[in-house]
Amino acid sequence: MIFEEVLRDIVEEADGVQGAVIMGMDGIPIGEKIIDPDCSIQTVGIEYASAIKNIQKASESLSAGRVQEVVIDTQKGIFLLRLVTDDYFIAVALSSRANYGKIRYHLRIAAPKLEGEFR
């Protein structure tokens, strides 16, 4: 299935990826790939889904266009959230040593592949 293929490509393409999930804005995961067993990527996705919704509303009110990506850089790691559609996104948890740019590139390539699966 394309979900597993896309997730495998994302997590295997760069060092420092802890896990990735494709999730609906309702918090229901479509697929996940975990590298670090301590990574709770589903919890990350659920918690940040509400943040994405708020960012989308702010972007609309500012007439800034559709939100494409959200980056959350914390003391313990980096979280990349790439919207696939208005209702689905990919969340990736990275260690602070990860190749952030390479993962962003792979997410940018993956999103259009997945978009067709949700239409």
CB 114 within 8 A of CB 6: yes
Dig out the tokens for 23 from the structure: 């999730």
Identify the DSSP state of 16. T
Q: What is the pLDDT of residues 28-37, one digit of tens each?
A: 999 999 999 8
CATH of 2-118, one of 3.40.50.720, 3.30.450.30, 3.40.950.10, 3.90.1150.10: 3.30.450.30
| pLDDT score, position 24 | 94
Q: What is the pLDDT of residues 88-106, one digit of tens each?
A: 999 999 998 888 899 999 9
Percentage of the residues of the chain whose pLDDT score is greater than 90: 61
Write the DSSP string, 59-106.
Answer: HHHTT-----EEEEE-SS-EEEEEESSSSEEEEEEE-TTS-HHHHHHH
